């Protein structure tokens, strides 16, 4: 099978029902109708086998994840996703694997009404690069910058599950932790709804301390006081790793893809109502302060043992 046949078979997903794609895959580029008065949001993320996912994990979960992490960035900007491009590097042609990958990708794309408008395949070690475009009203953009002292800090779901799943074979086999690692759910509806409420937002991809740290730094070197006993943990992680172990992974582990956001205290009820309306869990975890970096209250945890978040460290 040559490249063109592959693209025809795999990348021509379910026919686009949206009117926004004027020209889809098959020409030199795609043409997209733009909604008057909105701004465009563009995000991209590359996933490499055995760095950002396990080459051995089910192909559909890799397809899902490659799109999900980008939709999560779109959500963290307060935007609504519209289109995606997909670059797939494959070491070998495996029709079953590709069908699985496509199934996972298109199932999530369909659920979020995202049209695949461009694709590209190359030979090499397994890697996936996805770019997603969305739309947002100028006043609805969520930034990392924008947190203010006194803001409440929230999470959209339990964290540390993905890191826990990677901690042992037993944890990987647990269905809730496995789902957290392999099937992250981007919080796009919540992100779009928060645009007019929250002061700042980020998705937790590098670990709460690192990502909340990005908010604090971008907002002018603010601080945060996080209540350890308010942090939503996976009970399966606590059962397997103990409270301290689960808490460490919640603070330092990455790949959770929940939204962390800050909003003025006076809008607390409105935020809870938004979560209720969207059937989306929301957890109050602490407050923004004027100084002092991020401190964790009410825990015996020794923060020295917490990894500073997920980074690719490059060899010199």
Residues in 68-107 that interact with a second copy by CB under 8 A: 73-74, 76-77, 79, 83, 85, 87, 89-90, 92-93
Q: Is 122 in the site for a second copy (CB under 8 A)?
A: yes
Rounded CA separation 252/162 (Å): 11
Stretch that binds a second copy, among 139-147, 180-188, 274-282, 284-292 (CB under 8 A): 139-147
**Residue 193 beta carbon to a second copy: minimum distance, rounded to whole angstroms:** 16
Residue holding tokens 């919640």?
Answer: 250
Q: How far is the CB of 285 from a second copy (least distance, A)?
A: 19
- Considering only residues 193 through 222, tell me which ones interact with a second copy, judged by CB under 8 A: 201-203, 218
Of residues 10, 32, 102, 246, which one binds a second copy by CB under 8 A? 32
The Cα–Cα gap between 213 and 200 comes to 12
CB of 187 to a second copy, least distance (A): 12
CA-angle at 49, arms to 174 and 172, nearest 5°:
10
- Distant-in-sequence, close-in-space partners of 267: CB < 8 Å, separation ≥ 6: 197
- Residues of span 275-294 touching a second copy by CB under 8 A: none
What is the rounded distance in angstroms from the CA atom of residue 295 to the CA atom of residue 248?
A: 14
Tokens of 149: 């002292």
Q: Order the strands of the 200-203 sheet from edge to edge.
A: 200-203, 259-263, 152-155, 283-289, 223-227, 294-297
Query: 31 or 239: whose CB is closer to a second copy?
Result: 31
Of the candidate residues 67, 127, 194, 271, the single one contacting a second copy (CB under 8 A): 127
Q: In whole angstroms, what is the distance from residue 212 CA to residue 195 CA?
A: 18
Residues numbered 2 to 31 that lie near a second copy (CB under 8 A) are 2-4, 6, 22-23, 26-31
By CB under 8 A, the residues from 141 to 170 that bind a second copy are 141, 143-145
DSSP E strands, 249-306: 259-263, 283-289, 294-297
Q: Please, which residue, 3 or 170, has the CB nearer to a second copy?
A: 3
Residues between 222 and 241 with contacts to a second copy, criterion CB under 8 A: none
């Amino acid at each position: 099978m040559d490249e063109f046949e592959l693209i025809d078979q795999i990348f021509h997903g379910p026919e686009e029902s949206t009117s926004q794609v004027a020209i889809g895959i098959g020409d030199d580029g795609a043409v997209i109708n733009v909604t008057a008065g909105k701004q465009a949001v563009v995000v991209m993320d590359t996933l490499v086998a055995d760095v950002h996912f396990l080459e051995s994990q089910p192909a559909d979960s890799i397809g899902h994840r490659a799109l999900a992490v980008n939709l999560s960035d779109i959500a963290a900007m307060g935007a609504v996703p519209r289109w995606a491009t997909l670059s797939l590097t494959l070491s070998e042609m495996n029709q079953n694997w590709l069908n699985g990958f496509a199934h996972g990708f298109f199932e999530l794309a369909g659920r979020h009404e995202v049209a695949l408008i461009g694709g590209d395949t190359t030979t090499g070690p397994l890697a996936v690069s996805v770019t997603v475009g969305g739309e947002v009203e100028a006043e609805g953009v969520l930034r990392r910058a924008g947190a203010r002292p006194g803001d409440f800090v929230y999470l959209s779901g339990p964290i540390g599950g993905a890191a826990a799943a990677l901690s042992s074979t037993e944890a990987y086999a647990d269905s809730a932790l496995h789902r957290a690692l392999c099937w992250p759910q981007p919080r796009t509806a919540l992100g779009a709804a928060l645009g007019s409420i929250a002061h700042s937002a980020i998705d937790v991809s590098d670990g709460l301390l690192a990502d909340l740290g990005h908010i604090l730094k971008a907002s002018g070197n603010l601080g945060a006081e996080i209540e350890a006993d308010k942090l939503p943990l996976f009970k399966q992680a606590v059962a397997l790793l103990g409270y301290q172990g689960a808490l460490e992974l919640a603070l330092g582990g990455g790949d959770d893809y929940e939204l962390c956001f800050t909003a003025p205290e006076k809008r607390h009820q409105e935020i809870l109502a938004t979560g209720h309306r969207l059937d989306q869990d929301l957890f109050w975890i602490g407050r923004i302060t004027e100084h002092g970096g991020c401190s964790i209250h009410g825990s015996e945890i020794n923060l020295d043992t917490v990894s500073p978040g997920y980074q690719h460290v490059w060899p010199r």
